[in-house]
Amino acid sequence: MKDKSIGDTLLTALAYFVALVMFFPILWMLLTAFKTEQNAFTIDPHFLFVPTLDSFRVALEQGSGYLHYALNSVVSAVVSTLVGLLLAIPAAYAMAFFPTKRTDFTLVWMVSTKFIPAVGVLIPIYLVYKQLGLLDNLAGLTLLFTAMNMPLLVWMVYSYFKDIPKDLVEAADIDGASTLQTMRKVILPLALPGIASAGLLALILAWNESFWSLTMTDHRAATLAVYIASFKSAEGLFWAKMSAASVLTVAPIIVLGWFAQRQMVRGLTFGAVK
Amino acid sequence: MSSPAVATSLPDKRAKPKARLSGAPIRRLLAPAVIFLLVWMIVPLVMTLYYAFRRYNLMMPEITGFAGITNFKLMFTDPTFWDSLINTLILVGASLMITVTVGLGLAILFNRTFVGRGVARTLAIAPFFVMPVVTGLIWKNMLFHPVYGLLAWVFRHLGLNPIDWLAQYPMLSIIIMVSWEWIPFALLILLTGLQSLPEDQIEAVRLDGANKWQEFRHIVVPHLGQVLYVVVMLESIFFLTSFAEIYTTTSGGPGTATTNLPYYIYQSAFFQYDIGISSAAAIGAVILANIFSIFLIRFVAGNLNAGSRR
């Protein structure tokens, strides 16, 4: 733009300002993570200080158990996403390439289960899990994450499959390929970027999930959400440590999230906004 | 797309492929996902409905049996339930208004081209990816704390009395936190909507001498209407189920000031062990969510049809 008016410059400045305000709590957490506990808990906040890695060391040391919770988070997020994809891909494949009269209904029904509030199914699941010994059990939690993300995965993979010409499936069919072969050799390679982004979104949502972790796990299967929540009674004693643990938990997801922005819009709105 | 069809009566307009594959093999591909969702979502939902009509308290296992509408009666006479219902509606309504207005303003701001737009937008949407538990703790401690919090420091420097946010304005504090997390969501989706504006139409009204306001009123608003609709519906459903932000900050208090429906259900199940009443309240939450999701699902189903007509 050649003739930039003052208004234009002001609007740009406003955009920067708002972006900084929105980001500030995260920045403040990041700064606090590099402080000593004394520096973190002061009446007049310290903006300039000598950064230290002490809090990260404390957060990661053996006794804190951080790694135990981190491992649970990684396992539940990754396995729930893989199991989800394993179930969602065949379903999406069937619906995208071999639609029947009931396909639209099935798809919409699957999407609609996403809108059942978790509290609506919490009590029976808790009681049944208790009976089956699945409380505070990583497999039990992982399957809940799978159920939570399944509608999204089916929908996203379906919408990527729909972009692939049906002729390809028919051609493979005529060449005598089995369903599994067609799926593996023809369709999956083409839809791989889409499947990867669906998986990425499911991974982020599972990692950040807190309702099921807080209600269904205690220690053994507890994830980082439960660990971080345990700081809720810390009242100023461990702000630096809390921030360090939070940064370690949040940073990877923020980075992944930046990559997933566009797919996120497509996935979370169930294709209503592209 | 303007008149979305009802989900259950979608006509199948797709050309059927001449594939050999049909019937049983297809069902075999579809079945695992369907069964999984049935077992994890629909069966528990039916069980919740069943419990809502049972006498069932974990502390009194000897009392069982059909309760009729007793649980609902008890729930409707429990003032905490009404508080939680009102709190839920306030939280949803206020957060919606804030996230949609601010999100729309930001989307318009970020729809212009300027140096460093990518970086600024990236910073602005980062809060959406922060785990809600972390959001709760960071705001409660480092920002809202009445003495050591950053806001208290800012207030002192402005010559004002620091506020004990979570004690004096508990609901407002929760709304601020939830809005901080979800403004990026509204921003991102509305920005996507703005970027798919019909450029040729805008060009045309500009040539006709329309001013910025007319352009906004006649082109941008109708196009964004649908996008806004989706944002409002989705956010309503997510806001209805806010939990972690409350769990980590106020635990529903002071008193019942920030107890919303999910927290009420959580408390009556896990602290009063009353499965019957908490199930009755859970049915209430499902009905409330359905009011929004029915419209959303119709919209999604309508889109599905429009997509297949392409």
How confident is the model over B149-159, as pLDDT tens digits? 889 888 888 98
CA–CA distance from A155 to each of A107, A158, B104, B230, B290 (Å)? 7, 5, 27, 16, 20
Q: What is the pLDDT of residue B181?
A: 94
ipTM for the predicted complex comes to: 0.88
CA–CA distance from A210 to each of A107, B244, B247 (Å)? 27, 6, 10
Provide, as residue numbers in chain A, all residues whose Cβ is less than 8 Å from the Cβ of B147. Answer: 43
Domain residue ranges of chain A, discontinuous segments joined by +: 65-230
C-beta atoms of A253 and B18 within 8 A: no
Q: What are phi and psi of A35, to 5 degrees?
A: -100, 165
Q: What is the mean pLDDT of chain B?
A: 84
With bands split at pLDDT 50, 70 and 90, how would you rate the model's confidence at B15? very low
B134 or A166, which is more confident? B134
**DSSP helix/strand/coil, B274:** strand
Per-residue pLDDT of A27-80, as tens digits, reads 999 999 998 887 888 777 877 788 888 888 888 887 778 899 999 999 999 999
C-beta atoms of B129 and A25 within 8 A: no
Please report, as a single letter, which amino acid is at residue A223.
Answer: T
Q: Does the CB of B101 have a partner CB in chain A at under 8 Å?
A: no
With bands split at pLDDT 50, 70 and 90, how would you rate the model's confidence at B136? very high
Q: Does the CB of B307 have a partner CB in chain A at under 8 Å?
A: yes
C-beta atoms of A272 and B40 within 8 A: no
Q: What are phi and psi of A65, to 5 degrees?
A: 75, 5
Closest Cβ opposite residue A147 in set B36, B119, B196: B36
Give yes or no for residue B256 having a pLDDT over 80. Answer: yes
Q: Does the CB of B77 have a partner CB in chain A at under 8 Å?
A: no
Q: Does the CB of A25 have a partner CB in chain B at under 8 Å?
A: yes
Give yes or no for residue B24 having a pLDDT over 70. Answer: no
Question: What would the mean pLDDT of B261-270 be, rounded to a whole number?
Answer: 91
Mutate to test the interface with B, among A109, A116, A125, A142 (most CBs of B within 10 A): A116
Q: Does the CB of A78 have a partner CB in chain B at under 8 Å?
A: no
Question: What would the mean pLDDT of A220-241 be, rounded to a whole number?
Answer: 85
Per-residue pLDDT of A182-203, as tens digits, reads 888 888 888 888 899 889 989 9
Per-residue pLDDT of B64-102, as tens digits, reads 888 788 889 988 999 999 999 999 999 999 999 999 999
C-beta atoms of B30 and A91 within 8 A: yes
CA angle B267, B271, B276 (to 5 degrees): 75
B59 or A2, which is more confident? B59
User: What DSSP designation does B66 have?
Assistant: B
Residue of chain B nearest A101, judged by CA positions:
B12
Closest Cβ opposite residue A147 in set B37, B196, B290: B37
CA–CA distance from A225 to each of A211, A212, A245, B130 (Å)? 9, 10, 11, 11
Q: Does the CB of B296 have a partner CB in chain A at under 8 Å?
A: yes
Residue window 133-172, chain B: list those with CB within 8 Å of chain A: 133-143, 145, 147-148, 150, 153
Q: Does the CB of A13 have a partner CB in chain B at under 8 Å?
A: no
Q: Could you say which of 3.40.309.10, 1.10.3720.10, 3.10.200.10, 3.30.390.30 is the CATH number of the domain covering A65-230?
A: 1.10.3720.10
C-beta atoms of B244 and A211 within 8 A: yes
| Beta strand residue intervals within A105-235, DSSP E | none
Give B143's Cβ-side CA count (13 Å radius): 21
Highest mean pLDDT among B149-163, B208-222, B295-309: B149-163
Closest Cβ opposite residue B19 in set A98, A249, A269: A98
Q: What is the pLDDT of residue A29?
A: 93
Which residue, chain included where needed, has tokens 């709190």? B87
Q: What is the CATH number of domain B71-309?
A: 1.10.3720.10
Q: What percent of chain A has pLDDT over 90?
A: 44
User: What DSSP designation does B42 have?
Assistant: I
Q: Are A154 and A92 in contact (CB under 8 A)?
A: yes
B21 or A161, which is more confident? A161
Give the least confident one: A33-47, A260-274, B144-158, B244-258: A260-274
Give yes or no for residue B45 having a pLDDT over 80. Answer: yes
C-beta atoms of B40 and A88 within 8 A: no
B11 or A163, which is more confident? A163
Q: Determine the longest span between alpha carbons in chain A, in angstroms.
A: 75
Question: What would the mean pLDDT of B50-61 be, rounded to a whole number?
Answer: 85
Rounded to the nearest angstrom, the minimum Cα separation between B247 and chain A is: 8
Give B206's Cβ-side CA count (13 Å radius): 8
Q: What is the pLDDT of residue A265?
A: 80
Give yes or no for residue A238 having a pLDDT over 50. Answer: yes
Q: Whose CA is closest to B41, among A113, A1, A11? A: A113
Domain residue ranges of chain B, discontinuous segments joined by +: 71-309
Beta-carbon contacts of A175 under 8 Å, excluding residues fewer than 6 positions away, are none
Give yes or no for residue B13 having a pLDDT over 50. Answer: no
C-beta atoms of A43 and B147 within 8 A: yes
Q: Does the CB of B260 have a partner CB in chain A at under 8 Å?
A: no
Provide, as residue numbers in chain A, all residues whose Cβ is less than 8 Å from the Cβ of B14. Answer: 99
Question: What would the mean pLDDT of B6-25 be, rounded to a whole number?
Answer: 48
Rounded to the nearest angstrom, the minimum Cα separation between B101 and chain A is: 14
**A150 Cα distance to chain centroid:** 13
CB pairs under 8 A between A and B: 332
Alpha-carbon span A253 to B81, nearest angstrom:
36
